[in-house]
Amino acid sequence: MDQAHIKIGRIRQKLKLRRQQILEFLKRLNDETQALDPDSARDIADRSVLAMSRESLFEQTSQQRLVLRMVDGALGRISDGSFGVCASCGDDISARRLEAVPWTQYCLRCQEVLEGETRHGSEEASLLTTSFTRGA
């Protein structure tokens, strides 16, 4: 097996591990959401805390589901042979970047352009970098 296949194998394992961590984290978030008892909110302050807790859990769940989709996408690209190729410009994504953010679809240059556009629009693309480095 050559060096490229060894690295792809290591990245595949890293992605599978990250996928499992996300699924476990999502289960914990679901359990926490289920544990929030709306009947326990006795006054306006309790209802406010409950609403904020639900909102926080919803946001965390949404972010992790986005990461999960990206991890699944990367595993799909490994399977179909397109892993490591920028989805925007078609150039190779650096090995260093793939090691750091294995679910990335973009080379650093295209990612920077995407993030520049994001500042003027959707918040989702900024999650491409922020939620991945935090971990589950």
Tell me, what's the pLDDT at 36? Answer: 76
**Confidence class of residue 46 from pLDDT cuts 50, 70 and 90?**
confident
**Confidence class of residue 1 from pLDDT cuts 50, 70 and 90?**
very low
**Confidence class of residue 73 from pLDDT cuts 50, 70 and 90?**
very high
Degrees, nearest 5: CA angle 81-82-83? 95
Alpha carbon distance 85, 88 (integer Å)? 9
Q: Please state the domain count of the chain.
A: 1
Tell me, what's the pLDDT at 84? Answer: 94
For residue 7, the domain's CATH number is 1.20.120.910
**Domain containing 13: what range?**
3-134
Q: Is 109 helix (H, G, I), strand (E, B) or coil?
A: helix
